[in-house]
Homo-oligomer: A and B are copies of this chain.
Amino acid sequence: MKGLAMLKIGEIGWIEKDRPACGPRDAIVKPLALAPCTSDVHTVWEGAIGDRHNLILGHEALGIVDEVGSEVKDFKPGDRVIVPAITPDWETEAAQRGFPSQTGGPLGGWKFSNFKDGVFGDCFHVNLADYNLAHLPEGMSLEAGVMLPDMLSTGFMGAENANIQIGSTVAVLGIGPVGLCGVAGARLRGAGRIFAVGTRPASVRVAKEYGATDIISYKDGNTADQILDRTGGAGVDAVIIAGGGPDIMMDAINVAKPGSVISNINYFGSGLGDQDVIPLPRVGWGFGMADKNIMTGLCPGGRVRMERLAEVVMHGRMDPALMATHVFKGFDKLEEALLLMKDKPKDLIKPVVIVEQ
């Protein structure tokens, strides 16, 4: 088999590997649609999670089942499926504690392109097929569906963790595709006013479609000050951090009300100083006593999550396809799509690669 891999930090390329073996509860899937993620960029060019050698990249895919193990009951070759970015071992200790994305160690539910080859191959392995795959609903476009495995799941989690109440005021810092899903997630949880911080025109347009009521640009001054100003100094009930370097935490804490939640969905690829830290502002954080809680998490995975996201899309609550600004045809366009994600031209939200099968 062939795949687009991280050769080492800073370098990618196509490689050949043996087709993965299919265990009795597993599946081998061929891609129908693939999307590169900013975290692929962090992984390769920032070395964010450390070095990896000849590891096939990618964790966002729709596919068609090619082979299933002997114990798989709900899927068979030819089925069109949603493949979650996170495929936990659902029986394990962390899952029993309620943290399936952390099974087997921190971020351990994230296997594709982290602990095993990712989905940027002409076929790839999925563990626990019955519990980690979901059927692609009839009528869902590939451009929409490929946003579910990570973009919707992560972005919505940002809103879910933020304890948004009906009518809450929310700020979303960063409106790349995950941040846009944070905006959509905030609206899905009932937010009233939603500040979206960003400037790229394509993103701004979709942010408004997804429910942003105020667009905040750094070009008009400090973004935290602008939000404080527009709320009469009160700040917001919830902040979703969906982009930025380590200093973004300073803004996030400062725009949050006493009695609020800061919900992080940013993948911090680098930190400040020798200690490699993310800084909290002591005074803005109320000396540690202002009820400004900081939530984190890793994209929820698994079958039930994908099915619920599909419900949201199929009932017209939100249209993920608006984010697919650049659509490529053909597996061999994957490298071009990934480099596009790295370069982030102004009109890009998310590149998608449609694969003929």
Contact = CB atoms under 8 A, between A and B. Distances in A.
Given A107-B258, A278-B280, A312-B167, A305 B192 contact: no
Residue among A185, A265, A271, A302 with the highest chain B CB neighbour number at 10 A: A271
A213 B315 contact: yes
Contact of A312 (B190, B258, B304): B190
A135 to B, nearest CB: 13
B94 A259 contact: yes
Contacts of A290: 102, 106-107, 296, 298
6 contacts: A96-B303, A192-B308, A194-B315, A266-B288, A269-B287, A277-B281
Contacts of A311: 167, 169, 192-193
A156 interface: yes
A294 to B, nearest CB: 4
Interface string A164-186: 01111100000000000000010
A333 to B, nearest CB: 29
Given A93-B304, A192-B308, A294-B294, A279 B275 contact: yes
Nearest to A105: B258
Contacts of A276: 281-283
A264 interface: yes
B275 A281 contact: yes
A91 B185 CA distance: 26
A294 B49 CA distance: 22
A-B pairs with lowest CB-CB distance, top 7 = A167-B308, A192-B311, A99-B259, A271-B282, A102-B258, A277-B279, A90-B91
Contacts of A237: 97
Interface in A254-306: 257-259, 264-272, 275-283, 285-298, 302-305
A75 interface: no
Given A48-B287, A95-B95, A275-B281, 4 more contacts: A102-B259, A156-B190, A276-B283, A286-B298
A27 B85 CA distance: 33
Residue among A187, A294, A314 with the highest chain B CB neighbour number at 10 A: A294
Contacts of A107: 258, 286-287, 289-290
Nearest to A260: B99
A315 B193 contact: yes
Contact of A303 (B93, B279, B295, B298): B93
Contact of A285 (B190, B278, B285): B278
A296 to B, nearest CB: 6
